[in-house]
Amino acid sequence: MNIHEYQGKQLLKKYGVAVPLGNVAFTPEQAIEAAKSIHAKKWVVKAQIHAGGRGKAGGVKIAGSLDQITPIAEELLGKILVTPQTGPAGKKVKRLLIEEGSDIEKEFYLGMVLDRNASRIAVIASSEGGMEIEEVASKTPEKIVRESVDPLIGLAPFQARRIAFGIGIPDRQVNKAVKFMLELYRAFVDQDCSIAEINPLVLTKSGEILALDTKLNFDDNGLYRHKELLDLRDLGEEDEKEIQASEYGLNYIALDGNIGCMVNGAGLAMATMDIIKAFNGDPANFLDVGGGASKEKVEAAFRLILSDPHVRGILVNIFGGIMKCDVIAEGIVAATENVGLKVPLVVRLEGTNVKLGKEILHHSGLNITSANTMADAAEKIVQLVDQAAGGVVK
Ligand code: ADP
Ligand code: MG
C-alpha cells in the first residue's frame, strides 16, 4: 500500500524524523489557511498524487508571499499531472501539501528497501539528490553507497556514519544525519514498510538535515498489524478494477493489452501471459483467481475482465486441482448472463471435474472455443482477436 507524501511526513514526524512544517489542503481556501498557520519566508505548494517526478511536471511551486498561494492552489487543484511515474494518462490533483520552503544548501538521496536476495533491509544513499536513483545507478554507480542491515542488531550507528561520510555530509552535520537515519530505520521496521525513500534529503543553509520528500510503501501482508494505516489509503489514487478485485480477494493487475486472462495460480498466470506474448498477443491483465475460489468469486473475476473496454478477447486457462472446473464454468456462465459475451472466448480446462465443466460451458449457449494445450489456447485467442479486428484496427 502506498500513501501520500504529507501522510508519510506526519507518520515519520512521530518517530522524530525531521520534516518541514506543513499542512494538507483540499481547497484553495484551506491552502491559504494552511500557509497562514506556518510562519515562513516562503512556502512550497506541492501536488499530492501517488507518483514522483512532480517537480519537473510543474506539481511543486514556490510562493514567495501569501497572496501567491491562492492562485497557485487554484491552478494545481484539478490539474492532470503527467510525470514519468503516472503513465501517459496522468493523475488528477485533489490534495495539496502546503509547507515551509527550505533554503537548500545541498540535496542527497536516502532510501531503505527490502533486499529480498539478502533477506535484509538495505540502506542506499547518494550525493546525487533529487535525481532518480535508477538513473544514478546506471550512469554514476560510484556515487551510491549501500549498507546491509543485520536484522538482530538493526541499523548500527557506525553504518549510518559510514553512509553520512560516504555521501559527503559535512562533519558538523554527521550526527544529525545519523540520528535521521536511525529514526527512519525505526519507522521502517515498526510500520512494516517495504520502501522508504527520502529524495531529496536536504542540508539547509542553516545546517538542518530535513526530509523534503517522502515516499513510503507498506507491505500489504503486514497491514493487519497496522489498522490505523488503512485510514490513510486513498482509493481515488488506485485503479478502480484493482479495488474491486481486492474486495473479492483476487490478485488482479491491469495491463495495457487487449486479451483478458482468467487463470488459477500466480505461476500459471505468469506463464499464460508469456505464451500470449509468444504468439504476438498482448495480455490486458494479470488475474489469479486463487485456489479454492467460489462460483461468486469466479463470477466477479470474469465480470472484471468483461468491464475492461480494451478487452477484445478472453483466455481462460484453468488447471483444476483444489479448484474445480465446474465451479469455473458456472462462474463464467453466471457472469455473462446479464451482460452477454461480445468478444471471443477461448477456454482451456484441465483437471478436477473437467468433463462436468466442459458440459456446463457447452450447454450455456455461449460461443466458446475450447483448446487442449496452453499453446493451442494462446494461438487461438490471438487469431480470433486479430480476425475480429478485421483489418480495421491493424
Ligand atoms: P518529486 O520527487 O515528485 O519531483 P519533490 O518533493 O522531491 O517532488 O520536490 C521536487 C523538488 O522541489 C525537490 O528536489 C526540491 O528541490 C524542491 N522542494 C520540494 N519541497 C521543498 C521545500 N519544502 N522547500 C524547498 N524546496 C522544495
Ligand atoms: Mg522527490
The DSSP result for 19-76, as a single string, is: ---EEEESSHHHHHHHHHTS--S-EEEEE--S-S-TTTTT-EEEESSGGGHHHHHHHH
Nearest alpha carbon, ligand 1 atom 12: 55
As given in the structure block, the three cell numbers for residue 37 are 498557520
Of ligand 1's listed atoms, the one at least distance from the Cα of 55 is 4
pLDDT over 60 at 14, yes or no: yes
Ligand number nearest CA of 129 is: 1
The CA–CA distances, whole Å, from 130 to 56, 213, 223, 234, 282 equal: 10, 9, 30, 25, 35
* Secondary structure element (H or E) that encloses residue 242, with its range: helix 240-247
pLDDT band at residue 377 using 50, 70 and 90 as cut-offs: very high
What are the φ/ψ torsions at residue 27 (nearest 5 degrees)? -135, 160
pLDDT band at residue 239 using 50, 70 and 90 as cut-offs: confident
Task: Identify which of 328, 381, 315, 380 has the alpha carbon closest to the alpha carbon of residue 354.
Answer: 328
pLDDT over 80 at 374, yes or no: yes
Which residue in 197, 299, 330, 379 is the catalytic one? 197
Q: What is the mean pLDDT of residues 110-115?
A: 97
The CA–CA distances, whole Å, from 207 to 99, 172, 198 equal: 19, 8, 18
- Among the listed ranges 19-28, 51-60, 106-115, 247-256, which one has the minimum average pLDDT value? 247-256
As given in the structure block, the three cell numbers for residue 387 are 480476425
Task: Identify which of 327, 381, 364, 334 has the alpha carbon closest to the alpha carbon of residue 349.
Answer: 327
**Helix, strand, or coil here: 259?**
strand
167-208 pLDDT, tens digit per residue, is 999 999 999 999 999 999 999 999 999 999 999 999 999 999
pLDDT band at residue 393 using 50, 70 and 90 as cut-offs: very low
262, 305 contact by CB (below 8 A): yes
Integer Cα distance of 286 and 55 in angstroms: 32
Integer Cα distance of 317 and 275 in angstroms: 11
132, 202 contact by CB (below 8 A): no
Which residue in 5, 6, 109, 330 is the catalytic one? 109
13, 210 contact by CB (below 8 A): no
- Residue 391, pLDDT score: 52
pLDDT over 60 at 284, yes or no: yes
Integer Cα distance of 34 and 29 in angstroms: 9
Nearest alpha carbon, ligand 1 atom 22: 101
Domains along the sequence of the chain with CATH: 1-20+103-238 (3.30.470.20), 21-101 (3.30.1490.20), 240-389 (3.40.50.261)
Nearest alpha carbon, ligand 1 atom 7: 213
The CA–CA distances, whole Å, from 383 to 59, 279, 280, 330, 369 equal: 44, 9, 10, 26, 12
For the chain, the average pLDDT equals 94
- Among the listed ranges 116-130, 143-157, 270-284, 340-354, which one has the minimum average pLDDT value? 340-354
* Residue 47 neighbours by CB under 8 Å, 6+ apart: 54, 59, 60, 76, 79, 81, 93, 96
- Residue 242, pLDDT score: 84
- Among the listed ranges 57-61, 170-174, 305-309, which one has the minimum average pLDDT value? 305-309
- Residue 390, pLDDT score: 76
pLDDT over 60 at 58, yes or no: yes
Q: What is the mean pLDDT of residues 19-45?
A: 97
Integer Cα distance of 309 and 312 in angstroms: 8
As given in the structure block, the three cell numbers for residue 85 are 511515474
- Residue 160, pLDDT score: 98
Which residues belong to the annotated binding site?
46, 53-55, 99, 102, 107, 199, 213, 264, 321-323
Residue type, 313: G
**Which residue would you say has higher pLDDT here, 292 or 326?**
326
- Residue 215, pLDDT score: 97
**For the chain, percent of residues with pLDDT exceeding 70:** 99
**For the chain, percent of residues with pLDDT exceeding 90:** 79
Q: What is the mean pLDDT of residues 146-169?
A: 98
Q: Is 197 a catalytic residue?
A: yes
Q: Is 128 a catalytic residue?
A: no
pLDDT over 50 at 28, yes or no: yes
Q: Cβ atoms within 10 A of the Cβ of 275, count? A: 20
Q: What is the mean pLDDT of residues 90-115?
A: 97
pLDDT over 70 at 394, yes or no: no
Integer Cα distance of 169 and 189 in angstroms: 25
Ligand number nearest CA of 56 is: 1
